[in-house]
Structure 1
């Protein structure tokens, strides 16, 4: 019997979650519920399976056998659970809206992809424990899109697999301290396929030695998109000159500081509209745009649909479900 044939992903919340089998070795489980009274759910993970959990709302508490401290996954956090097999209980408080997506991946599938995508580095950094990360805007948007998958049949499965792989790539980025990419990544500057515009900084340019400073700048922008600091303030907080900040940020991430901030704002606005958490005006000011007209112009150019049309589509989808 092959390793893939015994793949048995964890069930977190029994019949309160929905499982979607993407293909052998990859499953997605979705939970969207509210408990009327305190509830606990026993679980046992399969040996050789990695679990990537993304919690959009609610708090999930985990008591794991042989682990003394309770593991708490708060709203808008991602958790990576690596082998070996585990057992314990999940718990949720009553009255909370619990909304999560979990990707279960067979370890051998990681191994088979690792030569091209650098996934083996994920295992080296997670080890036999778990890791928690705050979900960035792109992660939140991808999870929302899984819940609102617009396609059915084969097209839907392709869409869901693409989103699952997108979330895996975000986790890889969080686990990898070098934002220039995993060795061997076909699109990274260290790849033999890299073109002249993707070369790593050369000479005495400080980006290679101080990439953590640019990651710090990125997080500052993500956490302060409504009232972001000026370039001078950003540079000072990162311990860089303004020139080094602007040149290094573009060299590493491929966009300017301003372009990155605008992209994060648009993704956050899209996520708020898709989730139904905000109307167009509320989303505008929640992400730091000056007016709904400003958001509409940039949003339509980026996504090919106006924010008001997206909001109507989401409302129709919810009313039909």
Structure 2
């Protein structure tokens, strides 16, 4: 793997020959990670974000405030090629400022980037460069910042700074602990989450305070958080191929027809089509 770093940003260019079902692990340090898969298909399971499938053309982005362990499993024989960019946690304030840190900390998902075509094109430029030495390092870091700017722009559209204003930091440590407790309760009951009033009572705050604090801390209202996590988990279950579409829908609290419609609107593909696609990947 080639590694280049300068000015508080790190670039990783990796090419690896893998066999189907080969498994390996890696540890990712704290900070903001952005990557593009250029060749190969791999199932990735992270201790914090769960399981996802990375394939050619996909771009992934996430922020983690703590080191996380990642397990990879190759889904086919052949070459695995990817470009990853990291802004270490200690460099975020210098590169992106206080607003940038708040923006990244508000996004608690490992998402497939909304502009993978742009990110992928830049990643291919990085891989194809024939520059050497200092010139190559400058080029790679400059392109890495271009990738980051594209990803940050999309994050700003989803989580505008006005929704994560500095007042999020006005909550007491005890309040923040309660908001995280409420979040954990919701994650344990995605199919049938408690009403906001009941959830608020269970963590010892009133409903208005919980709603405001939850939005400030996690960047989205409670109902949106539940819906987004439901579909993220549903997508993971479908990609894993462990249950029928009907079972996944019921587990997430939906009728199958309604679930399929919502899933298609969200991901641009029907659940059955995604299941079939994953089955083909597994068979290859």
In which range does the TM-score fall when normalised by the shorter chain? 0.5 to 0.7
Residues 235 and 242 in structure 1, CA contact (< 8 A), matched pair in contact too: yes
Separation of aligned partners in 2, 1:236 and 1:27 = 52
Q: Measured at CA, do residues 277 and 202 of structure 1 come closer, stay the same or move farther in structure 2, by a change above 3 Å? A: closer
> Which residue does 1:285 correspond to in 2?
250
Q: Measured at CA, do residues 189 and 140 of structure 1 come closer, stay the same or move farther in structure 2, by a change above 3 Å? A: closer
Q: Measured at CA, do residues 249 and 29 of structure 1 come closer, stay the same or move farther in structure 2, by a change above 3 Å? A: farther
Separation of aligned partners in 2, 1:294 and 1:23 = 42
Residues 225 and 261 in structure 1, CA contact (< 8 A), matched pair in contact too: yes
Separation of aligned partners in 1, 2:101 and 2:259 = 32
Structure 1 regions of 5+ residues with no counterpart?
6-21, 34-98, 119-133, 175-181
1:102 aligns with 2:25: yes
TM-score by length of 1: 0.47
Instruction: Write the deviation string for residues 200-221 of structure 1: whole angstroms up to 9, x where unpaired.
Output: 1179x64676212111111111
Separation of aligned partners in 2, 1:306 and 1:286 = 17
| Alpha-carbon shift at residue 195 of structure 1 (Å) | 4.6
In the alignment, which of 273, 278, 281 is matched to residue 314 of structure 1?
Answer: 278
> Which residue does 1:235 correspond to in 2?
200
Q: Measured at CA, do residues 101 and 272 of structure 1 come closer, stay the same or move farther in structure 2, by a change above 3 Å? A: farther
In the alignment, which of 95, 98, 101 is matched to residue 188 of structure 1?
Answer: 101
> Bigger relative contact order, structure 1 or 2, given CA contacts below 8 A and separation 6+?
2
CA RMSD in angstroms comes to 4.0
Q: Measured at CA, do residues 255 and 196 of structure 1 come closer, stay the same or move farther in structure 2, by a change above 3 Å? A: closer
Separation of aligned partners in 2, 1:224 and 1:23 = 38
| Alpha-carbon shift at residue 231 of structure 1 (Å) | 1.2
Instruction: Write the deviation string for residues 271-305 of structure 1: whole angstroms up to 9, x where unpaired.
Output: 0111111121011112222x011211211111111
1:145 aligns with 2:53: yes
Runs in 1 of length 4+ with deviation above 6 angstroms? 26-33
Report 1:2-21 matches (<5 A): none
Q: Measured at CA, do residues 216 and 28 of structure 1 come closer, stay the same or move farther in structure 2, by a change above 3 Å? A: farther
| Alpha-carbon shift at residue 196 of structure 1 (Å) | 4.3
Instruction: Write the deviation string for residues 34-76 of structure 1: whole angstroms up to 9, x where unpaired.
Output: xxxxxxxxxxxxxxxxxxxxxxxxxxxxxxxxxxxxxxxxxxx
> Which residue does 2:265 correspond to in 1?
301
1:252 aligns with 2:160: no
TM-score by length of 2: 0.52
In the alignment, which of 155, 163, 167 is matched to residue 201 of structure 1?
Answer: 167
Q: Measured at CA, do residues 310 and 227 of structure 1 come closer, stay the same or move farther in structure 2, by a change above 3 Å? A: same
Alignment size in residue pairs:
185
Which has the larger share of helix?
2
Structure 2 regions of 5+ residues with no counterpart?
5-10, 34-45, 69-91, 105-155
> Which residue does 1:40 correspond to in 2?
none
| Alpha-carbon shift at residue 32 of structure 1 (Å) | 8.3
**SS where residue 102 of structure 1 aligns?**
strand
Report 1:53-64 matches (<5 A): none
**SS where residue 53 of structure 2 aligns?**
helix
Q: Measured at CA, do residues 228 and 198 of structure 1 come closer, stay the same or move farther in structure 2, by a change above 3 Å? A: closer
